[in-house]
A and B are shown apart, each in its own frame.
Chain A
Amino acid sequence: QKEVEQNSGPLSVPEGAIASLNCTYSDRGSQSFFWYRQYSGKSPELIMFIYSNGDKEDGRFTAQLNKASQYVSLLIRDSQPSDSATYLCAVLPDMRFGAGTRLTVKP
């Protein structure tokens, strides 16, 4: 059974801090990895995509991938209250989502 695991949280960080979100996957054949943000009552939206080992930075977001450890993470620097949402990890080739980690950024 292919699994994508995330800590459901909630994860609470103060405004301006770094939020660290983690995801592990079981299928070694996984090729590409996505982080989606989902606000309460809304649909998911893509915020990061990574397919090579190492770090990928986009503004305040950094995705980190370690295929040997089957681990992908998302760092959010200078967290803002508007970052409060559920963050979903998704894995190709079969677009399997984790259950999501709920992040709360407190002013």
Chain B
Amino acid sequence: EAGVAQSPRYKIIEKRQSVAFWCNPISGHATLYWYQQILGQGPKLLIQFQNNGVVDDSQLPKDRFSAERLKGVDSTLKIQPAKLEDSAVYLCASSTMDDPRNEQFFGPGTRLTVL
């Protein structure tokens, strides 16, 4: 079974530039999550999708971050414009609604550096 795919793996941009990250979840997983993990901290949930609907985006900085999940499969997370404090690893995870443990499977992440 293929895991969660993310691209790019690394990205370096200047502040005020825009950037987009892509995630392809495990086939059949209805729930998709985007997390931000700053060095030395735990992952912080940015947004959770169930199919193509948003379940929770309470911690998403909506003035600069946006995310979509068209057709309930792939997802993109965009930052526009980026700030220095956005430097972090952006993790995508997916889970199946049938799992009582709600186990989330994480992708390899995208490491963003904002200069």
Which positions in A face B, CB cutoff 8 Å? Answer: 4, 6, 8, 32, 42-46, 49, 88, 90, 92, 94-100
Q: A43-B107, A43-B108 are in contact. Are A100 and B42 (CB under 8 A)?
A: yes
Q: Which residues of A are found within 8 Å of B58, using beta-carbon distances?
A: 94
The stretch that binds A, out of B18-26, B60-68, B74-82, B98-106, is: B98-106
Which of B41, B43, B91, B107 has the most chain A CB within a 10 Å cutoff? B43
* B14 CB–A CB distance under 8 Å: no
Number of interface residues, chain B, beta carbon within 8 A? 19
- In the complex, the number of residue pairs spanning A and B with C-beta atoms less than 8 Å apart equals 42
Interface of A is mostly: strand
15 other contacts beyond A96-B45, A97-B43, with CB at 8 A cut-off? A6-B42, A8-B40, A42-B108, A43-B109, A44-B91, A45-B106, A90-B42, A94-B56, A95-B45, A95-B48, A97-B42, A98-B42, A99-B40, A99-B42, A100-B41
